[in-house]
Amino acid sequence: MAGIFDAFKTDIFNDAPGMRPRHIRAATLIAIRWVAITGQLATVLVVRFWLDFNLPLTFCLIAILASCILNLHLIRKYRHAHQMRRRDTSFSLGFDAVQLGFLLGLTGGLHNPFSMLILAPVTVSAAILPVRHTIRIGFLVAILVSILTFVHVELPGPAPELDPIYGVAAWAATLVGLIFIAGYVARVATEQRRMMQALHTVEATLRREQQVSAVGALAAAAAHELGTPLATITLVAKELSLEIPEDTEAGKDIALLVSQTERCRAILADLTARTGDENDDTGARFYPISLSALIEEIGEDRTPEGKVLTVLQRPIAGDAGAEPRVLRTPELVNGLINILSNALQFARHQVSVSVAWSAKNVSITVVDDGPGFSPDLLERIGDPYISTRKNEDGHMGLGLFIARTLLENSRARLTFGNRSGAGAEITASWSRADLEAELKE
């Protein structure tokens, strides 16, 4: 129970880095209030003139008119603005609660069938405003409900004799509903904001990697295509330099041409070398590589001093065939980078990666000798902004979330656990056909 409460408290009261509750469009809140005004006016008129109940009509209409005035003020104030300020939104929702409480007080209090609508302002606040605003509005509604329990105009017409305990029960039920609905909506809205923020981070990471891949491909293609015509120009320039004396004007121009073509060749050679460094030998990113070689390549520059990364190859059956080969897709590479980086950061001395395959399935198991996942963390592993190192050294708790999202995009299935003794264990498994599908395209 304590773990559930801690998780709830973390979700509601701790926003993710860079994440803020959303604003609401002014037009949306104004439109909702016009609907409420129309419903209130229609209900009051029907009850008064059709059902012939003796309501304090003048005061009811004054309360409805107050909502109209507020809406007209907001229309004027936010005529050219897209979103309302949170302070104005909070005030508007508080006003709605007071206005509806006043109407309910004139029409039976909590005995009014529409009394449950007093929860609406708190629900809207929980969905779009920070917690402190929702607490204030919730406290205001709780006060109104408490007042309405004892101070209200009785419903007209014959009414059954009810024990006073019924009024207390209705008061308690409304407050419980207020707390439950506000808390539930706040948690769902917060989780949605956290997930959207995390997904935007993943999309940015993937988009950046795709841009790097595109630039690398363009550089490799340009170096290849320009090499042949540049070699021809160099050859012709050198032949002309042999035929024309160097001390003539034409000879000097040809000598300059030869030097500039040599410079162009040096630039292309340097570009090819840079592309080769980033893509493993001149555009190798676009050629198949075995899984174990890919993992060794990823870990080569990411293994801290004093720690060891071991990669094991394990065919599962005699008909497993050769080790699967894959393309360096952004999803696969960045997903493995995040898993390996997490393991290497928490490992004490060693990280072991086992690449297992059969004719139908492929799996990668990453095991470190660190402290492993704590039980409460293990229940939520792979969710965004979950980390024992959150807010330390700029860590945001997105590494495993990014890994999970990207690898699942490549049709992987991920499991998280602990080895008996010590150490975390993460396994990513694919259907071999899915993993090698891009090779056949």
Q: Please check whether residue 167 lies inside any domain of the structure.
A: no
Q: Please check whether residue 5 lies inside any domain of the structure.
A: no
Range list of H helices, 244-329:
249-279, 291-300
The answer, yes or no, to whether residue 18 has pLDDT greater than 70, is no
Sign of the dihedral through C-alpha 428, 289, 305, 335 = negative
- Mean pLDDT (the chain) is 75
| Spatial CB neighbours of 120, under 8 Å, sequence gap ≥ 6 | 96, 100
Which pLDDT score, from 0 to 100, does residue 364 have? Answer: 92
Q: Please check whether residue 189 lies inside any domain of the structure.
A: no
Which pLDDT score, from 0 to 100, does residue 297 have? Answer: 87
Residue 366 phi/psi, 5-degree rounding, is -110, 120
Read off the pLDDT of residues 97-150 as tens digits, 9 standing for 90 and up: 899 889 888 888 877 778 788 888 888 877 778 878 888 888 888 888 888 888
Between 165 and 428, name the one with better pLDDT.
428
Which domain, by its residues, includes 98? 12-159
Do residues 104 and 226 both lie within one domain?
no
Read off the pLDDT of residues 313-359 as tens digits, 9 standing for 90 and up: 888 877 778 888 888 877 788 888 888 988 888 888 899 999 999 88
What tokens were used for 355? 């690449």
Q: What domain count does the chain have?
A: 3
| Residue carrying structure tokens 């004007």 | 249
Between 153 and 12, name the one with better pLDDT.
153
What tokens were used for 417? 């656990």
Task: Say what the pTM is.
Answer: 0.48
Whether residue 407 contacts residue 332, with contact meaning beta carbons closer than 8 Å, is answered with: yes
Whether residue 216 contacts residue 278, with contact meaning beta carbons closer than 8 Å, is answered with: yes
Q: Single out the residue in 269, 284, 299 at which a domain terminates.
A: 284
Beta bridge partners of 311: 353
Q: Please check whether residue 24 lies inside any domain of the structure.
A: yes
Do residues 379 and 236 both lie within one domain?
no
Between 126 and 398, name the one with better pLDDT.
126
Do residues 389 and 301 both lie within one domain?
yes
The answer, yes or no, to whether residue 212 has pLDDT greater than 60, is no
Q: How far is it, in rounded angstroms, from Cα 376 to Cα 381?
A: 9
Do residues 306 and 248 both lie within one domain?
no
Burial group, residue 248, by CB count within 10 angstroms (0-12, 13-18, 19+) = exposed
Between 398 and 426, name the one with better pLDDT.
426
Between 341 and 177, name the one with better pLDDT.
341
Residue 354 sits in a domain whose CATH number is 3.30.565.10
Whether residue 97 contacts residue 140, with contact meaning beta carbons closer than 8 Å, is answered with: yes
Which pLDDT score, from 0 to 100, does residue 244 have? Answer: 81
Between 50 and 222, name the one with better pLDDT.
50
Whether residue 433 contacts residue 439, with contact meaning beta carbons closer than 8 Å, is answered with: no
Which pLDDT score, from 0 to 100, does residue 211 have? Answer: 58
From the centroid of its chain, how far is CA 330? Answer: 18
**Rounded mean pLDDT, 193-203:** 64
Do residues 322 and 271 both lie within one domain?
no
**Rounded mean pLDDT, 397-420:** 80
Whether residue 141 contacts residue 96, with contact meaning beta carbons closer than 8 Å, is answered with: no
Do residues 332 and 406 both lie within one domain?
yes
Q: How far is it, in rounded angstroms, from Cα 31 to Cα 79?
A: 13
Read off the pLDDT of residues 343-356 as tens digits, 9 standing for 90 and up: 888 888 899 999 99
For 220, the enclosing helix (H) or strand (E) is helix 164-243
Residue of 349, 367, 376 whose CA lies nearest to 420: 367
Burial group, residue 322, by CB count within 10 angstroms (0-12, 13-18, 19+) = exposed
**Rounded mean pLDDT, 74-98:** 81
Residue of 134, 124, 127 whose CA lies nearest to 191: 127
Q: How far is it, in rounded angstroms, from Cα 39 to Cα 335?
A: 52
Q: Please check whether residue 188 lies inside any domain of the structure.
A: no
Do residues 429 and 299 both lie within one domain?
yes
Longest dimension (CA), the chain: 123
Q: How far is it, in rounded angstroms, from Cα 71 to Cα 81?
A: 15
Q: Please check whether residue 89 lies inside any domain of the structure.
A: yes
Do residues 432 and 302 both lie within one domain?
yes
| b (16+ CB within 10 A) / e for 407-437 | beebebebebebeeeebbbbbbbbebeebbe
Q: Please check whether residue 17 lies inside any domain of the structure.
A: yes
With a pLDDT cut of 70, the percent of the chain lying above it is 68
Q: Single out the residue in 159, 191, 223 at which a domain terminates.
A: 159
Do residues 266 and 296 both lie within one domain?
no
Q: Single out the residue in 268, 284, 300 at which a domain terminates.
A: 284
Per DSSP (E only), the strands in 320-382 are 325-326, 350-357, 361-368
Place 4 in a pLDDT band, splitting at 50, 70 and 90. very low
Whether residue 363 contacts residue 432, with contact meaning beta carbons closer than 8 Å, is answered with: no
The answer, yes or no, to whether residue 90 has pLDDT greater than 90, is no
Do residues 269 and 377 both lie within one domain?
no
What tokens were used for 130? 């920070």
Do residues 262 and 294 both lie within one domain?
no
**Looking at residue 47, what DSSP letter applies?**
I
The answer, yes or no, to whether residue 54 has pLDDT greater than 90, is no
The answer, yes or no, to whether residue 36 has pLDDT greater than 50, is yes
Do residues 293 and 434 both lie within one domain?
yes
**Which amino acid would we find at residue 206?**
L
DSSP string for residues in 273-284: HHHHHHHTSSSG
Question: What interhelical angle do 164-243 and 249-279 show, nearest 10?
Answer: 150
Q: Please check whether residue 111 lies inside any domain of the structure.
A: yes
Place 391 in a pLDDT band, splitting at 50, 70 and 90. very low
Among 85-99, 119-133, 170-184, 245-259, the range with the most confident prediction by mean pLDDT is 85-99
Burial group, residue 22, by CB count within 10 angstroms (0-12, 13-18, 19+) = middle
